[in-house]
């Protein structure tokens, strides 16, 4: 038994050592060699160029080598990885890294160019520096330089490849300028940009309805980070137009009494720009009784409507804090008024609440308008508006007629 226990650690150690050997062998097998040849724009090999290889988005490596007299360098990298090759040299440069996808033992040729710099100055039409202008150099499908100029409107690039570049200068309020520039050694160039404006039109509508309804007399405020600020009302067709500087971003704020505030962000380039803004009425509910003055214990039908005067179903209605029911599909509910005086009814739908009062009275008691009601008055009132006063008038007229007839007989 003891012998078996003594053998077990030895077996485990042997397995671990064997696994380590296998892992080391696997690791060695996963390496491949890239034969990298660095050439100039004429295809001639360059010696003494430092190459750095990284992988896994820069997390792996670097593996560094220097080209020999034949312009070649041998670089060991992980098999199947995407390898990014970059150079570090005072005389030569490459704008973008050279990428080897799914690496295997292979030969690649990497072209580099003599280094140059460009100093670009942006000025306005009156020759003043275009402060904080954005200056970009574009070549071979990508932006090589993208920087904002300072107060002097000027940038100087890092070393870039010699050759032709598209220089693009933009600034809020100014038209975009695209200029072709040949960059070599230490190139300097000046680019002029001109101010301009275009029309920005906002159309304000309420899309609650099947056919969107334009909103008149809404206030549209237009602001930009560069300092523009303008306010204009909407017309009967819901439109509001304002002239704004070109090539800028604007914040639109639309307000109108009874409506929720709407905010939009819009980019304006160099053409007329339109934007649609949907605003909705401020959410609210209204509780309306079919009669505001009733006899005690009478039933009152209440209707709950929303901000669009549409019925609100399942709204909870309470009387003096006690729930009396929920509205039906038509937004209606019926409740009694059991006590005399002002009785408060409350409707709640979600986060919205509203109240209303109903006055109840007993026959013979004074109502809110100061008039007294008696059982006799209630019985003698007719639907055409006649009442006790009309009966007295008929009686007086009859007495006058009788008196006149009596005098004639004498």
The structural domains of the chain, ordered by start, are 30-111 (2.60.40.10), 116-192 (2.60.40.1120), 197-278 (2.60.40.1120), 285-361 (2.60.40.1930)
pTM summary value = 0.70
What is the DSSP secondary-structure string of 199-260?
Answer: EEEEEEEETTSSS-EE-TT-EEEEEETTS-EEEEE--TTSEEEEEEESSEEEEEEEE-TTB-
140 Rama sector, left if φ>0, alpha if ψ -120 to 50, beta otherwise: left
Question: Taking the CB of residue 394, how many other CB atoms lie within 10 A of it?
Answer: 10
Q: Are strands 262-268 and 273-278 parallel, antiparallel or unpaired?
A: unpaired
Q: Which residues contact 386 (CB under 8 A, 6 or more apart)?
A: none
Residue with structure tokens 């010696």?
Answer: 47
3-state helix, strand and coil shares in percent for the chain, rounded to the nearest 5: 15, 50, 35
pLDDT value, residue 403: 45
Distance CA 290, CA 311 (A): 15
Question: How far is it, in rounded angstroms, from Cα 271 to Cα 276?
Answer: 17
CA distance 67 to 73: 5
User: Cα 161 from chain centroid?
Assistant: 40
> In sequence order, what are the residues at sequence separation of 6 or more whose Cβ sits closer than 8 angstroms to the Cβ of residue 362?
295, 296, 340
What does the alpha-carbon distance between residue 35 and residue 32 come to, in Å, rounded to a whole number? 10
Written as one string, the DSSP assignment of 185-202 is SEEEEEEE--B-EEEEEE
**CA–CA gap between residue 304 and residue 345 (Å, rounded):** 11
Catalogue the long-range contacts made by 227-235 (C-beta closer than 8 Å, 24 or more residues apart): 234/202, 234/204
**Tens-digit pLDDT profile for residues 332-371:** 999 999 999 999 999 999 999 999 999 999 987 655 554 4
Q: Between vectors from CA 336 to CA 330 and to CA 337, what angle results, nearest 5°? A: 125
What letter would DSSP give residue 292? S
Give the residue carrying structure tokens 């003698």.
Answer: 380
Classify each residue of 254-292 as buried b or exposed e, where b means 16 or more C-beta atoms within 10 Å of its C-beta.
Answer: bebeebeebeeebebeeeebebebebeeeeebbbebeee
Q: Which residues of the chain have pLDDT under 70?
A: 1-29, 365-410
Q: What is the per-residue pLDDT for 26?
A: 43
Query: Distance between CA atoms of 74 and 92, rounded to whole angstroms?
Result: 20
259, two tokens: 């409506």
Report the mean per-residue pLDDT for the chain. Answer: 87
pLDDT reported for residue 365: 63
250 burial via Cβ count (<10 Å: 0-12, 13-18, 19+) = buried
For 300, the enclosing helix (H) or strand (E) is strand 298-306
Strand, helix or coil at 354? strand
How far is 88 from 99, CA to CA, in rounded Å? 16
**Token pair listed for 199:** 């029309």
The pLDDT value recorded for residue 363 is 80
Q: What is the pLDDT of residue 167?
A: 98
Condensed to tens digits (0 to 9), the pLDDT of residues 191-243 reads: 999 999 999 999 999 999 999 999 999 999 999 999 999 999 999 999 999 99
């Amino acid at each position: 038994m003891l012998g078996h226990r003594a053998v077990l650690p030895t077996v485990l150690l042997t397995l671990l050592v064997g696994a380590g050997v296998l892992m080391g062998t696997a690791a060695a097998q996963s390496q491949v060699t890239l034969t990298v040849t660095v050439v100039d724009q004429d295809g001639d090999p360059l010696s003494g160029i430092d190459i750095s290889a990284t992988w896994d988005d820069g997390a792996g490596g670097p593996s560094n080598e220097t080209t020999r007299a034949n312009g070649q360098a041998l670089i060991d990298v992980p098999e199947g990885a995407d390898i990014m090759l970059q150079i570090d040299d005072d005389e030569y440069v490459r704008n973008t890294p050279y990428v080897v996808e799914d690496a295997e033992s292979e030969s690649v040729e990497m072209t580099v160019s003599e280094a140059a710099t460009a100093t670009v100055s942006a000025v306005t039409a009156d020759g003043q520096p275009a402060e904080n202008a954005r200056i970009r150099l574009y070549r071979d499908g990508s932006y090589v330089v993208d920087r904002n100029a300072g107060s002097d409107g000027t940038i100087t690039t890092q070393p870039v490849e010699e050759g032709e570049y598209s220089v693009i200068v933009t600034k809020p309020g100014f038209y975009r300028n695209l200029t072709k520039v040949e960059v070599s050694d230490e190139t300097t160039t000046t680019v002029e940009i001109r101010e301009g404006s275009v029309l920005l039109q906002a159309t304000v509508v309420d899309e609650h309805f099947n056919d969107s309804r334009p909103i008149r007399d809404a206030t549209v405020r237009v602001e930009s980070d560069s300092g523009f600020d303008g306010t204009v009302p909407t017309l009967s067709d819901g439109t509001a137009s304002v002239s704004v500087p070109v090539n800028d971003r604007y914040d639109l704020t639309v307000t109108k009494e009874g409506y929720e505030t709407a905010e939009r962000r819009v980019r304006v380039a160099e053409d007329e720009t339109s934007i649609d803004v949907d605003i909705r009425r401020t959410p609210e509910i209204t509780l309306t009784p079919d009669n505001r003055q009733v006899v005690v214990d009478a039933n009152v039908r209440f209707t709950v409507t929303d901000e669009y005067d549409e019925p609100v179903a399942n709204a909870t209605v309470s009387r003096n804090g006690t729930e009396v029911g929920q509205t039906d599909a038509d937004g209606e509910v019926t409740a009694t008024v059991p006590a005399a005086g002002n009785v408060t009814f409350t409707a709640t739908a979600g986060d919205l609440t509203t109240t209303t009062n109903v006055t109840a009275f007993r026959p013979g008691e004074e109502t809110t308008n100061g008039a007294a009601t008696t059982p006799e008055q209630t019985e003698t009132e007719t639907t055409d508006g006649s009442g006790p006063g009309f009966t007295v008038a008929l009686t007086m007229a009859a007495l006058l007629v009788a008196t006149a007839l009596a005098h004639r007989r004498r």
